[in-house]
Amino acid sequence: MTSLLSLTTLLSVTTSGRTAIVTGANSGLGLECSRALLREGWHVVMAVRDTERGRAAADSLDHRDRCVVSRVDLSSLASVRTFLAEHLDAALPPTRAVICNAAVQVVSRTRLSADGYELTFAVNHLAHFALVQGLVGQLARPSRIIVVSSGTHDPTKRTGMPAPHYTSAEELAHADGDPEEPIAKLGRRRYTTSKLCNVLFAYELDRRLGRDHGGVAVNVFDPGLMPGSGLARDYTGPQRAAWRFILPLLRFLPDVHSARTSGEHLATLAGDRRFEGASGQYFLGLRPVRSSIDSFDTTKAEDLWHTSERLVALEPR
């Protein structure tokens, strides 16, 4: 674990405070959420793939003494396991929030994770499933798990993205055979389907924790349209330019937010007393709203859960 805290400082804070883990914290929503959490007195573990970029991001934040940069490559389940082992051994205040934020959108070609799974499914869902499974039994009570999804998971919303297509988790994990549609459209559909998986997973976890949630609340966060995020990094040059320079002009529309605003909303959902007792809900910003019809499909949720349990236990093929 690469840390901005000295061991002496770490040991001095173990008896007080609260820790939040934020994946994908070196830019965009994750960075702004980390900023807001630090402002509210949290200790933050910025879980990032590139620790050099993570340290540079942490340097831009106030309260660096409460910031830890830790490496986790969500395209590798071995890296997730290493992160878990290091975090559980770290001398940090009790972990009371896990924010599953990191995501990729791959539209140029089919890519596989280190474990041989389709990369979008592997990063956006499977790695976070493994992360939460490794942490949930160790979390302080009460605590909150927040899974970041997207309005693109709901085909009734006019997002401009292809509708999700959930067949089975096994098929989503394995990108075998020739694609049935152009790779760019397929890549975007894989993304929207992974966002549906995020909601299915969160709701199923909430059900499995039981009526009182075992002291662990689980919710889904939809940041709304957030122009300028890193999700367009695999787009063509003109598409990236539009995402970066043109879409921000739409911020006057409802549910279009800057990363700063959405990050503050996410941090509020993680710690504000207004949301005590809220679990198994889908929040658009700070408003609880109804998610898609498919997100309540318990058959899909159970298939996703059982398949994910098996996949995260497998050795790389």
For residues 23 and 48, give the distance between their C-alpha atoms in angstroms, rounded to a whole number: 6
Using a 10 angstrom Cβ sphere, with 0-12 exposed, 13-18 middle and 19 or more buried, the burial of residue 67 is buried
CATH number, domain of 184, equals: 3.40.50.720
Pairing of strands 43-48, 19-23: parallel
The whole-angstrom separation of Cα 157 and Cα 38 is: 34
* pLDDT of the residue at 237: 54
* Residue 118 phi, psi (nearest 5): -55, 130
| Residue whose pair of structure tokens reads 């279009």 in the numeric block | 256
Q: Is residue 197 part of a domain?
A: yes
Note the pLDDT of residue 228.
Answer: 55
Is 2 part of a structural domain of the chain? no
Whether residue 1 lies inside any domain: the answer is no
Within-domain flag for 122: yes
* Cα–Cα distance list, 260 to 226, 263, 267 (Å): 10, 5, 11
For position 115, what pLDDT does the model report?
A: 96
Query: What is the maximum alpha-carbon separation in the chain?
Result: 57
Residue type, 244: R
Question: Could you give the C-alpha distances from 86 to 68, 94, 250, in angstroms and in order?
Answer: 12, 14, 42
pLDDT at position 180, please? 77
Q: Which residue among 191, 203, 235, 282 is the active-site one? A: 191
Domain count, the chain: 1
What pLDDT score does 12 carry?
Answer: 36
How far out from the chain centre does Cα 275 lie? 19
Q: Given this model, what pLDDT does residue 5 score?
A: 44
**Of 296, 266, 311, 293, which Cα lies nearest the Cα of 203?**
296
Is 191 designated active site?
yes
**Which of 88, 32, 82 minimizes the C-alpha distance to 61?**
32
DSSP characters over the chain = --BSS-HHHHHHTTTS--EEEEETTTSHHHHHHHHHHHHTT-EEEEEES-HHHHHHHHHTSS-GGGEEEEE--TT-HHHHHHHHHHHHHS--SPEEEEEE-------SS--B-TTSSBHHHIIIIIHHHHHHHHHTTT--SSEEEEEE--GGG-TTS--SSPPP----HHHHH---S--SS-HHHHHHHHHHHHHHHHHHHHHHHHHHH-TTGGGEEEEEEE--B-TT-GGGTTS-HHHHHIIIIIGGGGTTSTTB--HHHHHHHHHHHHH-GGGTT--SEEEETTEEE---SGGG-HHHHHHHHHHHHHHHHSPP-
Q: Which domain holds residue 293?
A: 7-313
Q: What is the pLDDT along the chain (317 residues), one digit of tens a residue?
A: 544 443 333 433 333 599 999 999 999 999 999 999 999 999 999 999 999 999 999 999 999 999 999 999 999 999 999 999 999 999 999 999 999 999 999 998 999 999 999 999 999 999 999 999 999 999 999 999 999 999 999 999 988 899 999 999 999 999 866 677 899 899 999 999 999 999 999 999 999 998 777 899 999 999 988 665 555 455 455 554 444 544 454 454 555 668 899 999 999 999 999 999 999 999 999 999 999 999 999 999 999 999 999 999 954 44
pTM here?
0.87
Q: For the chain, state the CA radius of gyration.
A: 18
Residue 155 placed within a domain: yes
Tokens of 316: 């790389």
**Residue 56: how many other CB atoms lie within 10 Å:** 13
* pLDDT on residue 144: 97
| Domain membership flag for residue 132 | yes
Question: Do 107 and 188 touch, CB atoms closer than 8 A?
Answer: yes
What one-letter code names the amino acid at 223?
Answer: P
